[in-house]
Chains A and B, each alone.
Chain A
Amino acid sequence: MRELVLLSAVLGLVMIYAGVRLSEPERVETQNLTSGMVGSQVLLSGRVMDLYEHPDGHLFLQVGEENRTVSVPLFSSLRRGMRVEMLDWVEVRGRVKEWKGELEVVPGRPEDVRVRREPPRRVGEIGEGEVGRLVKVEGEVRRVTRMGENCTLLTLAEGENVLKLFLAFPARVEAGARVTAAGRVQLYRGELEVVVKRSSHLYL
């Protein structure tokens, strides 16, 4: 009997160790994610290239790089106050699923999502070399210009440096407020500006 008990215990521990190792999710890059992985657990890491916050509290992230992203839905039941900003670096442990023909990685628990905050850049650090790139910038609002009913142009200033933020959504921002926003840099009539697509890309 003792021998059987010992054998069971040792074999059990070996199987537990092997099982834990085998069930660890595979670390993947967004470009390596394929439909053959649907159903398996993966560990995906990358930058938040886009995010959309649903009125019900769900947060839909696009994680990856400039040319390839994967959708990561963070449902409100899972967020529990978790804050994710554009361009933050995230590591997501989740199951690969297919939703409307697109691959997505769905985490099951709050612990499955790790976020490393990307600090915003200063106004003076954004130059013409950044045109076409996604940036996160912080500054003080010097002037607010309403552009019709739905858009707003903010002028951020820092000493001598000035940068325009084009908000493509209705926003209530007062001059003097300090804001952080993420968007793509473009040249408009010879001036640099950052186009902010959604309200969830603006942090007051």
Chain B
Amino acid sequence: MTSTAPQRNEPSRAFDRSEARRARNAGRAMRETVFRIVGLVATILGLVALTALIVDLVISGYPRLTWDFLTNFPSRRASQAGILSAWVGSLLIILVTTSVAVPVGVAAGIYLEEYAPRNRLTDIIEINVSNLAGVPSIIYGLLALGLFVYGLGTGRSIFTAGLTLALLILPIIIVATREAIRSVPSSLREAAVGLGATDWQVTRDHILPAAMPGVLTGVIIGTSRALGETAPLITIGALTFIAFLPTPPIQSTPPFVNMHWLWEGYTVLPIQAFNWISRPGSDFLANAAAASIVLLVITLGLNGVAIWLRARLRRKLKW
């Protein structure tokens, strides 16, 4: 008798426990499902914002996107204003920026990956590069204002602007170059060294060609970044109303090229857009939107190319 009581109780307690467990497991499964949905929504929300931004720009700017808009100078009348001087300025500045930042950045990346000895100086350079990548762009503007514009007297010129943006994208290119070189297998290096190639021959003929797509990705991202930068150029005093073009770099008389344009005033696309945004009244807002569309097509286009290049690279290169 005494032994049957617990026996009778046993199944019911086990039943209770499994009931509770089932309820708890249902709750756990529920939380799992809820998170799947919340997670997807959170992930997509960023894309929704991007879409809203693009749609908003297109609605307000599309009517102004005509051929004239690309070929007209800025004007006091919103309907006649265009972005000719802005895109020409952007183009020339990017020319200066890339011709400084790409060789220096790639060389620095090569040094840090292929040549640098493990010592304190290398550590300092590495920490320095990673810190530079995080310095706000406006600080580069202050550097350029104090050092280039007033210190070296390069003035508010295309040269100053190009150099400023070159310093700004230097860390991007260095980091990209290093990553690209690091992904080249050392067997390639060892084989070349084994055949008697010198350090530089290995780098130039084997490492760099193999790392090229990765380097190119960094250069494209850097270019896109430089094209969209506004703050540092405002700081060094970019003019906002430029109704002329710089001297053409090519002329019909010898020596056929000239560098006058380097020392002339300029405006760029983002500054032109900023100028139109900050005007009182709403007439110029459509222009700002249209200029933003042009800018966005270029920068997102460049980013898209870089992403595509990286994806292709990952698929193609299975060392």
A associates with B: no
Enumerate chain A interface residues (CB-CB to B < 8 A): none
B-side interface residues toward A, CB under 8 Å? none
